[in-house]
Structure 1
Amino acid sequence: MEDANQHDPATLEKLPEGEFMRLFIKHEPALRAFARSILPDWQLVDDTLQEASVTMWEKLGQLHDQAGFLPWAKVIVRFKCLSAVDKLRRDRHVLSQQVLELIADEAETMDADEIVAIRSALAVCLTQFTPPHRELLLAPYAGDGRVKQIADRGSKSVNALYKLLGRLRQRLASCIRGQLEPEMS
């Protein structure tokens, strides 16, 4: 017979540290991808995820069962990300709160297997590009000014590289969709 107090948050015991760490490490790639869907750069993702992990540990008593860890953790990561974006807003232009909420809602529906499949498809598709094209595809994620540095090294203008980047991204997206279609069938 089930104990009536079993789901009362006041009677729940905190998961052991090892179990919390196991769950966090298992779901970290999904949480990192979720945070990146909201935040503009990887450094901010790292900082925010670290802050969120501390909050998760502090609020672990709110977790009703281990199976609910990922949705529960995503809520905490979401609030930490939105807080980080609010701080950024004071310094520069960022997407509106409403747009960020829509992006977060969409990203929240993705499960860990889906993220792994997309990453795998991305890795396969990137191998189909020449090294210079691969470098250009990854340049916007490597930091500010990377595309300009590539333009300075070569014979094309920054504008021409961005146009090429747009075409390369279309090819990459098409390849990824092609890689994922057999899995979705």
Structure 2
Amino acid sequence: MDDVLQEASLVMWRKIDQLQADDEFIPWARMVLRFEVLKYRRSCSRDRLLLDDDLVALIAIEAKDETSDYVQEQRTAIRACLGRFSPEHQKLLLAPYTREEAVKEMAEAAGKTANSLYKRLGRLRTKLHDCVRMQLGTTS
């Protein structure tokens, strides 16, 4: 099964330009993985130990529902935790996701080195991660 995941990852890298919006990544990745699993199942169709196609579809539907709820919980926790940071820290946390050079530009504007800002960003990400874990009640 690791081979299927690896192949799905490669397919996603090759087809990443098909992704139209960042928030569509999970459904898109799920679809790519589903097709890779189906392709793998076809290649192993002679094996009597495979699950029935209807059962696989049912498992996929249930997993999607659980994943969707969890993703929504994560988003809510992230928003709540981001709200606890100062506007300056929020801007720094979100900068790498806006433009590739955003952190460097922020460093220049503040008269600091990019390295120092990346170190601060790392510490802020750790605090954000810990806050989200607390919000979700997880320990991993």
Pair in the same fold by TM > 0.5: yes
Q: Which amino acid aligns with 1:118?
A: Q
> Alpha-carbon deviation of 1:144?
1.1
Within 5 Å, give how 1:139-178 maps onto structure 2.
Answer: 139-178=95-134
Are residues 1:45 and 2:19 paired?
Answer: yes
- Report if the CA contact (8 A) 1:48-1:77 is conserved: no
Identity %: 37
Structure 2 length normalisation: TM-score? 0.56
> Alpha-carbon deviation of 1:75?
3.0
Structure 1 residues 47 and 154, CA gap change in structure 2 (3 angstroms): closer
Question: Unpaired runs of 5+ in structure 1?
Answer: 1-34, 51-69, 81-107
Structure 1 length normalisation: TM-score? 0.44
Please give the root-mean-square deviation of Cα atoms over the aligned residues, in Å: 3.9
Q: Which amino acid aligns with 2:76?
A: S
Question: How many equivalent residue pairs?
Answer: 98
> Alpha-carbon deviation of 1:119?
0.2
> Alpha-carbon deviation of 1:45?
3.0
Within 5 Å, give how 1:13-28 maps onto structure 2.
Answer: none
Counterpart for residue 82 of structure 2 = 126
> Alpha-carbon deviation of 1:143?
1.4
Question: Unpaired runs of 5+ in structure 2?
Answer: 1-8, 37-62
CA distance in 1, matches of 2:97, 2:82: 14
- Report if the CA contact (8 A) 1:49-1:77 is conserved: no
